[in-house]
Structure 1
Amino acid sequence: MSETKSIEALRATLGNDHPPSELAPLVEAMWWEAKGDWKRAHEIAQDIDTRDAAWVHAYLHRREGDDWNAGYWYRQAGRPHAQIPMDEEWREITAELLTH
């Protein structure tokens, strides 16, 4: 099992300059967002055409404060527009992505 198969293990790597090499691209996007690099996270998410990527994309636009754009991406992901705190949604998305 990978070292980063849990939220806690992943968060423990946030002090590093680069994400662990074994991360799936969408988990890497969430890692960059947690580091405060929204642009890098967005670049990763927008280049992937899956429902999970749309969910990450929605989260990123919600984090940005662009609710209209976030709403579009939540619909593409087949998910309701999140109303929970941002950190809680980060954990929810990342935990699900880590199970894939």
Structure 2
Amino acid sequence: MENIAEFKKLLEKDRPDEHLSVQLRALWYDAKGDWQMAHDQVDHLGDTASARIHAYLHRKEGDSWNANYWYARAGEKRPEISLDQEWEALVQRFLSV
């Protein structure tokens, strides 16, 4: 998969593609409206990539303190963009990995 349009086509399915990274699976569940399942994908992981997804999810949830904690764990600052823009930027980032 090379671009966000291809990733968005996967949202038509009932389940995420088994070849997706855990970060992309979390973003897939988030886009499908299942915040808890998205969170469950990364909650137990300690790597910076998962921390970055974790940060986005807590920002989306409205838990600013927790989001800022996870942004710091990821070595980043909270972006000054919309949640939709952040989601798309994260999909692009993890498609490139």
**Which TM class, normalised by the smaller chain length?**
over 0.9
Map 1:24-39 onto structure 2 (within 5 A).
24-39=21-36
Percent identity of equivalent pairs:
38
Task: Name which of 16, 19, 28 aligns with 2:16.
Answer: 19
Tell me which amino acid in the other structure corresponds to 2:54. Answer: H
Offset of residue 83 of structure 1: 2.0
* Corresponding residue of 1:88: 85
Task: Name which of 76, 88, 91 aligns with 2:73.
Answer: 76
* Corresponding residue of 2:40: 43
Offset of residue 5 of structure 1: 2.8
Tell me which amino acid in the other structure corresponds to 1:48. Answer: L
Unaligned residue ranges in structure 1 (runs of 5+)? none
Unaligned residue ranges in structure 2 (runs of 5+)? none
Larger RCO (alpha carbons 8 Å, 6+ apart): 2
CA displacement 1:15-40 (0-9 Å, x = unmatched)? 21001121011110001001110000
Aligned length: 97
Task: Name which of 42, 56, 60 aligns with 1:59.
Answer: 56
Distance in 1 separating the partners of 2:23 and 2:43:
10
4+ runs of 1 displaced by more than 6 Å? none
* TM score, norm. by length of structure 2: 0.95
